[in-house]
Amino acid sequence: MLLTISTTHSPATDLGYLLHKHPDRCQTFDLSFGQAQVFYSEATVDRCTAVLLLEIDPVRLVRGKSGFSLDQYVNDRPYVASSFLSVAIAQIFGSALSGRSHDRPDLVTRAIPLKATLSMVPCRQGQNFLHQLFEPLGYTVKTTQHSLDEQFSEWGESRYFSVELDAKIQLKQLLSHLYVLIPVLDEDKHYWVGEEEIEKLLQHGDGWLATHPEKVQITRQYLKRERTLTQAALAQLIVEETPNLDVAEDTHNQEEADIEKSVSLNQQRLEMVTSTLKQCAVKRVIDLGCGEGNLLRVLAKDNFFEQITGIDVSYRSLETAQKRLDQLLLGSKQRERIQLMQGALTYRDRRWDGYEGATLIEVIEHLDLPRLAALERVVFEFSRPKVAIVTTPNVEYNVKFIALANGTLRHKDHRFEWTRQELQTWANRVGQEFGYTVRFEGIGSNDPIVGSPTQMAVFEQSVL
Amino acid sequence: MKLTVPELSLVVLIGASGSGKSTFARSHFLPTEIISSDTCRGLVSDDETNQDATRDAFDVLHYITAKRLAAGKLTVIDATNTQADDRKTLIKLAREYHCIPVAIVLNLSEKLCHDRNQQRPDRAFGAHVVRRHVQNIQRSLKGLQREGFRHVHILSTLEDIQSARIERQPLWTNRKHEHGPFDIIGDVHGCCDELEALLQTLGYDPIPTAESRQFADFASYRHPQGRKAVFLGDLVDRGTRILDTLKLVANMVATGDALCVPGNHDSKLLRKLKGQNVRVNHGLEQSLAEIEALSEETRSPFVQDLQKFLDSLVSHYVLDEGRLVVAHAGMKQAYQGRGSGQVREFALYGETTGEIDEFGLPVRYNWASEYRGTAMVVYGHTPIPEPVWLNNTLNIDTGCVFGGRLTALRYPEKQLVSVPADRVYCEPIRPLIVPQAAGELTPQQEVDGVLDITDVLGKRIISTRLQRNITIREENAIAALEVISRFAANPKWLIYLPPTMSPVETSTQPEFLEHPAQAFAYYRKQGIAQVVCEEKHMGSRAVTIVCQNIEAASKRFGVTDGSVGICYTRTGRQFFDNSALEAEFLTRVQTALSNSGFWEEFQTDWVCLDCELMPWSAKAQGLLREQYAPVGRAARVALTDAVALLKQAQQRGVEVESHLQHYQQRSHLADRYVAAYRRYCWSVNTIADLKLAPFHILATEGAVHLDKTHLWHLHHIAKIAQADPQLLIATAYQVVDLNDPTSQEAGENWWQTLTQQGGEGMVIKPLDFVVQRDRGLIQPAVKCRGQEYLRIIYGAEYSMPANLERLRQRGLSAKRSLALREFALGVEALERFVAKEPLRRVHECVFGILALESEPVDPRL
């Protein structure tokens, strides 16, 4: 990875004094993760460019770590600006970073014309984010985004930029900005992020971070999105007003923006399902595809429900669900009602027998359409709950979501989304085949033309 | 004194403290067969005499007893058992597992027992205890039979006890030592004409009468090769030659040419003959009429003989080391080889749901759909139009008396032989021929439509023919369940997953991490004389199943969505997202197979091919965009920039020569890395952009082709490929003689040429598909990858000497062990599918492979 710092300050070769590195020598530094060279590609009175060239040992990076992942050897780390570069800046340009210079003590505190180039900066949030980070600090920002592979233009752009930053600024400030913002852009620190990172952030952010319009995002990303650390850092950064992280998250995370405005719709869905279960006098419920336990938490708090079982195929989701249930601090009697089990909706499972109600909340659309036949038999032929509630997106409503491109589904893993007619056709057929009567309802705001965002089918076992 | 004890019984010893039960038990039974209450007291309390622990001790005793009886093990209860209440629990337990309760009473005098106890330091209880025991026993003696003990042995003197000899009596149902071959014949119902015709078709000859027969006035039949007929009961009622049928069968049984189990009709006739009040209907009137028609003087002896014969019939038989079970109405696993009223009931009538169908007949509970036993069960009872296998069970009652056929199953050939009925002897209440819609699933396929979670979840041990007992750990099953249920194709298609393949041992030659020399050395060391080196295509592994037509897909795979086959990845995921492209692709392969005469040559209407599908980029888009291309881009830009700056510095006279050279080399390697992955990428817009290279013909109808050499596979695949050279690639290969250095050199050179031209490398295999050595299987194949290809595995700069040296430290043993286990499971899956085993048995293996794939092994190997 590569950083250059140039100046047109006169005499430009003073840069050598500021960096404590002689312009006519190439110096090598050993670092724990590799090697660095500092040399000058140009050094005239008019213009001087110092180069920090960092070579990371890719084999050492992989060996000694436990666990495997294919990306370790084939890895961009040796080539892109990352937290390794911040460490190198601190170690190799340590004096300059802290604003010390033996020979030019006065120059240290002066703003001089400086230009920094970074040949490969990863930035998932795109070009605008680079501007949003550096422009408030007074830089003129020039960026070039690179394609993934010029021979395969259909693969599109990479997340890498060549970046040029121009400003009249103190060298110390430039280095501090880079020290903090490079890892913010890269979002992949090579070391464990703990309390001491807050110290570093506050130290190097001194004088500029507190007033930076993107301070929340910078803090979050610098601290690897560790919520408690971020909260603590922000509290120290701005004593009077600690912004609410959840709001920040919503405003900043465009790519994660939930198309459905999930808080309200999700809430409505859970309420609707819960009240339907109650109407049907279902006290023993099995939530098939419980995920991280959204519905389970609602049911758990309601003592109407006597037995609550959550099933999911993802073990990790079940672990999260368990943690979230633990956070409810239920009494032991309440807790005894709840259990979680790994299971799959396409396998018959005798542990599901004997429940009054089964819920499949936003589940069926995650199954390949041809596999639905197995689910039907597993649930309606074998488990045979008295009541089954199925909710799934109403695809007709998708036109209402501005953020959703035409014809795309709401979630990457959705294998299908149905119109109201499609759900009804399916559900009525299933009901007839397995002896259930079915009624349908919409959940969420009801549009006269496209209906509600979520649709619900309630199956009730027909009385013979 | 001889004491008869059925081989599967619960033996309850009854005797006062000091009567010598433990000594008696030890001298007649295995230590593991004896469960003593004292031992159980010790187990739960460290003190064998601790009376406070009695309740817990008996919980343990009952628990162990239940486990043993469930497993079919004779069990002896060594406890005083002096009270009826204690014995009641044990009898209940024996009944629950359909074992025979036997009582052995050591009925010694109070004094004798007391004196013995006095001599033992741990029995310091008063005389009143023994007195009570003895009194209780005295009171119980008469009622033991009534309590439910089927055998009661009372030993009242020391001599009795000393002279006692236990004789274990095999169960009537146990005919495990009879290995057949058998011809199992369904419900005859007095259709003796058809029976005689069937026996002759099966190769049986009428043999002259002899005194030994029960009915000397009637013929018997015998097979010249000593085959044995097995009659599944319901010999009587409805037909026109009921007594002839009975005589024939009874004769064959008497001469050892047949076995026979009773049917419900036979049983009802017997009850009638014994004078019980039964309703005369469902054809019993015909049987009685035939008996009535006998002359006065013959009737009575005949009825006596008949009664004797019917009385001798045993509910069901377990044959051929437990591999075959025959019964009239079927036999569930828990009842096999057991004897109780319930078992007999099941054998005669099966189970009903308690409901009545539209014809007024009881709805039968289909025990076979839940059958999980390893024994094949052949039965009759319910007339059906066509025998169909379901979970290793087969009903062969094809309703001869209703105008259907009389059917026999040849065992072990699993071949059906039948003769048509001469006429309809009796109108069935429920129509026999249920019109079957074309493309309708068989009962087995119907059952296979839903797999059970207990067949995959938890720690599992799978027995395979190549490697005994492969263990699937629970955490791996957890991971596999997620993959398979979220991403995998319909399990009915998943009859195989390819095993992982180990690379060659690490090369020691400079510049090489892998080299063919190690592969040759490995196989030479295993005593292999010749190997085949196959070009390794750089695409994605694709298992391709193609059927001759949609009907074959439905018939053989039970898939009725109109697809003619499938192409899936090594994790069982459908290869194509685009179903139109997939259909086109499969049709092309299907056409090539048809045009090359494959279906006729292999006598099959489906095939499972192991293939590589190109380009790699077709399936690896995510990997390319997220990883390979970005790294290539980052490396090229960063290193080019660095070289430019170093050159500028050098022009200024700064000494950077060594760094410049280093960075120039790295920059060059980055270019080579990009070139390496680009070779395997091209856009796929139409089918013309796809290439399929099959390299194994895994299976066709009735055959898994792993008994053929790789040359056979390559030869036949080349023939198919010729039929569509646009789409299909025949894999290039060379045979290398491991005892000939020139041949090896030629092989190494070939590899060099392939890889220098950008090839991935080659796969080296022994000529034989499966090779077993003393220590087990050897690797069925090892891969040897080219220098440039390895850049996309180990990174652009892996070949720099300092990096290469360190990368040589890699361990292969975990990978190799995994490769063998997955290979064995893959073969097992195919064998089971080809043998038409239930899907769960196939799925278990496929699931196991996927589970093993989640074991942490270096993915670069």
Q: Which residue has the higher pLDDT, B231 or B388?
A: B231
B858 near A CB under 8 A: yes
On whether residue B446 sits in a domain, the answer given is no
Q: How many domains does chain A have?
A: 2
Longest dimension (CA), chain A: 98
Token pair 């996927």: residue: B850
Distance CA A31, CA A37 (A): 11
Q: Do B490 and A371 touch (CB under 8 A)?
A: yes
Separation in Å, CA of A157 to nearest CA in chain B: 9
B771-to-B466, B527, B736, B754 alpha-carbon distances in Å = 10, 10, 17, 27
Q: What is the 3-state secondary structure of B115-131?
A: HHHHCCCCCCCCHHHHH
Test A2 with B794 for CB contact under 8 angstroms.
no
- Is the separation of the CB atoms in B199 and B186 below 8 Å? no
> Is A256 part of any domain?
no
B326 reaches A (C-beta below 8 A) = no
Domain end point (choices A173, A191, A209): A191
Question: How distant is the Cα of B455 from the closest Cα of chain A, in angstroms?
Answer: 9
Q: Find out whether the peptide bond into B181 is cis, omega within 30 degrees of 0.
A: yes
Same domain? For B665 and B577 the reply is no
Q: Which domain holds residue B625?
A: 621-678
- Residue B842 has a pLDDT of 96
Contacts of B260 (CB under 8 A, 6+ apart): B230, B231, B233, B235, B249, B250, B253, B313
Is B270 in the same domain as B355?
A: yes
Q: Are residues B362 and B254 in the same domain?
A: yes
Is A222 among the domain residues? Answer: no
Whether residues A97 and A180 fall in one domain: yes
Cα–Cα distance, B168 to B339 (Å, whole number): 15
Question: CA geometry: angle at B626 spanning B625 and B628, to 5°?
Answer: 70
SS3 state of residue B747: helix
Contact B486 A68 (CB under 8 A): no
Residues B802 and B715 in one domain: no
Give the count of beta carbons closer than 10 Å to the beta carbon of residue B580: 9
Q: Provide ipTM, 2 decimals.
A: 0.82
For residues B265 and B378, state if they share a domain: yes
**Do residue B624 and residue A68 have CB atoms under 8 angstroms apart?**
no
- Counting every residue written for chain A, the total comes to 464
Residues A73 and A169 grouped into a single domain: yes
Mean of the pLDDT values across residues B229-244? 95
| Nearest Cβ partner for A74 among B561, B631, B857 | B631
CATH of the domain at A358: 3.40.50.150
- As a whole number of angstroms, the distance between CA A143 and CA A150 comes to 18
What tens digit of pLDDT does each residue of A74-121 get? Answer: 888 889 998 899 999 999 999 899 888 888 888 888 899 999 999 999
Would A209 be classed as within a structural domain?
A: no
Query: Are B593 and B526 spatial neighbours (Cβ–Cβ below 8 Å)?
Result: no
Contacts of A415 in chain B (CB under 8 A): none
pLDDT at B596 over 90: yes
Tell me which residue in A41, A146, A149 faces B649 most closely, judged by beta carbons: A41
Q: Is residue A375 part of a domain?
A: yes
C-alpha B194/C-alpha A162 separation (Å) is 91
- Whether B224 and B371 map to the same domain: the answer is yes
Residue A443 is part of which domain span? 262-461
Enter the tokens of residue B84. 């009826």
Q: Is the pLDDT of residue A404 over 80?
A: no
* B798–A39 CB contact, under 8 Å: no
Mutate which: A28, A73, A148, vs B, most B CBs within 10 A? A73
Q: Could you tell me if A428 and A327 lie in one domain?
A: yes
Nearest by CB to residue A155, choosing from B625, B792, B798, is B625
Gap from B510 CA to chain A (nearest CA, Å): 18
| Chain A contact present for B363, CB below 8 A | no
> What pLDDT shows up at residue A175?
94
Averaged over B638-651, what is the pLDDT? 95
| pLDDT, tens only, A188-200 | 777 777 788 888 8
* Mean pLDDT value across residues A210-215: 90
Tokens of A101: 């210079």
Cβ of B808 under 8 Å from any chain A Cβ? Answer: no
CB contacts of B649 in chain A (<8 Å) are 26, 39-41, 51
Q: Which residues of B touch A378 (CB under 8 A)?
A: 450
Q: Say yes or no for a CB contact (<8 Å) between A158 and B629.
A: yes
Contact criterion met (CB below 8 Å) for B761 and B536: yes
Which of A370 and A170 is assigned the larger pLDDT? A170
Flag whether B362 is in a domain.
yes
Instruction: Kindly indicate the confidence band of residue A260, based on its pLDDT and cuts at 50, 70 and 90.
Output: low
Q: Is residue A112 part of a domain?
A: yes
Q: Are the C-beta atoms of residues B552 and B541 closer than 8 Å to each other?
A: no
B738 is written with which tokens?
């491991």
Plot region of B8 (φ>0 → left; ψ -120 to 50 → alpha; else → beta): beta
Asked whether the predicted pLDDT for residue B324 surpasses 70, the reply is yes
Answer yes or no: do A300 and A161 share one domain. no
pLDDT higher than threshold 70 for residue A71: no
Average pLDDT of every residue of chain B: 91
Pick the last residue of a domain from A191, A219, A249.
A191
Q: Which residues of A touch B652 (CB under 8 A)?
A: 24, 40-43
User: By mean pLDDT, which of A171-175, B21-25, B113-117, B847-851 is the weakest?
Assistant: B113-117
B496 Cβ under 8 Å from any chain A Cβ? no
- Chains A–B, number of C-beta pairs less than 8 Å apart: 187
* Domain presence at residue B846: no
Residues A307 and A398 in one domain: yes
A51 strand-pairing partners: A4, A39
User: B555 with B527, same domain?
Assistant: no
| pLDDT per residue as tens digits for the range B783-800 | 999 999 999 888 888 888
Distance CA B315, CA A342 (A): 42
Which residues in chain B have Cβ-Cβ distances shorter than 8 Å to A288?
none
Q: What is the pLDDT of residue A351?
A: 94
Interchain CB distance below 8 Å, B449 and A348:
no
More confident residue, B48 or B595: B595
Which residues partner with B761 through β-bridges? B536, B785
Say what the pLDDT of residue B861 is.
Answer: 82
Mean pLDDT, residues B304-321: 94
Asked if B629 and A37 come within 8 Å (Cβ–Cβ), the reply is no
Tell whether B346 and B246 lie within a shared domain.
Answer: yes
pLDDT, tens digit, for every residue of B467-505?
889 999 998 999 899 889 888 899 999 999 999 999 999
User: For residue A69, what pLDDT band results from cuts at 50, 70 and 90?
Assistant: very low
Between CA B259 and CA B411 the distance in angstroms is 14
Q: Are residues A276 and A149 in the same domain?
A: no
The answer to whether residue B443 scores a pLDDT higher than 70 is: yes
Let me know whether A39 and A185 are in one domain: yes
Q: What is the pLDDT of residue B802?
A: 84
pLDDT at B179 over 80: yes
User: Among A171, A191, A211, which residue terminates a domain?
Assistant: A191
Average pLDDT score over residue span B248-266: 93
Q: Is the domain of A430 the same as that of A281?
A: yes
B457: in domain: no
pLDDT score recorded for residue B754: 93
A59, part of any domain:
yes
Contact A41 B632 (CB under 8 A): no
- Percent of chain A at pLDDT above 70? 92
pLDDT digits (tens, 9 = 90+) for A7-28: 999 899 999 999 989 999 999 9
Query: Are B200 and B289 found together in one domain?
Result: yes
Supply the pLDDT for residue A251. 40
**Which pLDDT belongs to residue B809?**
84
Residue A371 in any domain: the answer is: yes
Write b or e for each residue in A199-229: b if 16 or more Cβ atoms lie within 10 A of its Cβ, otherwise e.
eebeebbeebbeebebbbbbbbbbbbebeeb
Q: Is the pLDDT at A391 greater than 90, yes or no? A: yes
- SS3 state of residue A144: strand
B645 within some domain? yes
Nearest residue of A to residue B623, measured between CA atoms: A71
By Cβ distance, the residue of B634, B642, B648 closest to A80 is B634
Pick from A4, A158, A413: which is nearest to B633 by CB? A158
Read off the pLDDT of residues A226-241 as tens digits, 9 standing for 90 and up: 777 777 777 777 654 4
The alpha carbon torsion through B502, B503, B506, B512 (nearest 10 deg) reads -170
Residue A239 has a pLDDT of 57
Q: Do B806 and A373 touch (CB under 8 A)?
A: no
Local confidence band at A399 (pLDDT 50, 70, 90 cut-offs): confident
B198, B199, B202, B203 alpha-carbon torsion, rounded to 10°: -140
Helix (H, G, I), strand (E, B) or coil at B5: strand
How much is the average pLDDT of B796-816?
Answer: 87
A439 pLDDT band, cuts 50/70/90, is very high
Establish if B835 belongs to a structural domain. Answer: no
Buried b or exposed e, range B304-340, using 16+ CB within 10 angstroms: eebeebbeebbbbbbbbeeebbbbbbbbbeebbbbbb
Based on the fold, state whether residues B152 and B273 are members of the same structural domain. Answer: no
Letter string b/e over residues A97-110, b meaning 16 or more CB atoms within 10 A of that residue's CB: bebebeeeeebbee
pTM attached to this predicted model: 0.82
User: What pLDDT does residue A66 have?
Assistant: 41
Distant-in-sequence, close-in-space partners of A318: CB < 8 Å, separation ≥ 6: A290, A310, A312, A340, A341, A342
How far is Cα B544 from Cα B569, in angstroms, rounded to an integer?
Answer: 9
B742 touches chain A (CB under 8 A): no
Q: Is B410 exposed, middle or buried (0-12, 13-18, 19+ CB in 10 A)?
A: middle
What is the pLDDT confidence band of residue A249, given thresholds at 50, 70 and 90?
very low
- Distance (Å) from the alpha carbon of A181 to chain B's nearest alpha carbon: 19
Which pLDDT score is estimated for B311? 92
Among B616, B624, B627, residue whose Cα is nearest residue B540: B616
Closest chain A residue to the Cα of B671, Cα to Cα: A149
In a domain, B285, yes or no: yes
**pLDDT for residue B764:** 96
Q: Are residues A163 and A305 in the same domain?
A: no
Q: Tell me which of A79, A121, A363, A384 to substitute to probe the interface with B (most B C-beta atoms closer than 10 Å).
A: A79
Judged by a CB distance cut-off of 8 A, whether residue B566 touches chain A is: no
Tell me which residue of A39, A42, A40, A46 sits closest to A12, measured CA to CA: A46
CATH number for the domain harbouring residue B393: 3.60.21.10
Answer yes or no: are the C-beta atoms of B319 and B182 closer than 8 Å.
yes
Domain count across chain B: 5
What sign results for the dihedral spanned by CA atoms B380, B384, B385, B386?
negative
Query: Does B435 score more than 80 pLDDT?
Result: no
Residues 6 or more apart in contact with residue B209 via CB below 8 angstroms: B216, B217, B218, B219, B220
pLDDT, one tens digit per residue, over B380-415 is 998 988 898 999 999 999 999 999 999 999 999 999
pLDDT for res B516: 95
Average confidence (pLDDT) over B9-27? 93
Closest B-chain CA to A53: B642
pLDDT of residue A67: 40
Chain B hits for A368, Cβ within 8 Å? 489, 574
pLDDT tens per residue, range B731-788: 999 999 999 999 999 999 999 999 988 889 999 999 999 999 888 899 999 999 999 9
- Closest CA relative to residue A54, chosen from A21, A24, A23, A32: A32
**Whole-angstrom distance, CA of residue B36 vs CA of residue A37:** 82
With cut-offs at 50, 70 and 90, classify the pLDDT of residue A247: very low
Let me know whether B641 and B718 are in one domain: no
**Could you say which of B809, B828, B843 is where a domain stops?**
B809
Q: Which residues of A touch B683 (CB under 8 A)?
A: 152, 154
Mean pLDDT, range A16-42, rounded to an integer: 91
DSSP string computed for B14-80: EE-TTS-HHHHHHHHS-GGGEEEHHHHHHHHHS-TT-GGGHHHHHHHHHHHHHHHHHTT--EEEES-
Mean pLDDT of B571-584: 89
Asked whether residue B840 is domain-assigned, the answer is no
Confidence of residue A64 (pLDDT cuts 50, 70, 90): low
Contacts of A51 in chain B (CB under 8 A): 645, 649
Residues A173 and A295 in one domain: no
Using 50, 70 and 90 to split pLDDT, how confident is the model at B210? low
Confirm whether A268 is domain-assigned.
Answer: yes
- CATH number of the CATH domain containing A37: 3.30.1610.20
The tokens for A82 are: 């990352």
Whether residues A149 and B484 touch (CB distance < 8 A) is answered with no
* A397, A464, B339, B486 from A415: Cα distances, Å: 17, 36, 53, 10
Q: With contact defined as beta carbons under 8 Å apart, do A184 and A134 qualify?
A: no
> Which residue in B has a C-alpha nearest to residue A4's C-alpha?
B645
Residue A250 reports pLDDT greater than 50: no
A165, A85: one domain: yes
Contact between A40 and B490 using a beta-carbon 8 Å cutoff: no
Q: Residue B717: is its pLDDT beyond 70?
A: yes
Distance (Å, whole) CA B766 – CA B743: 15
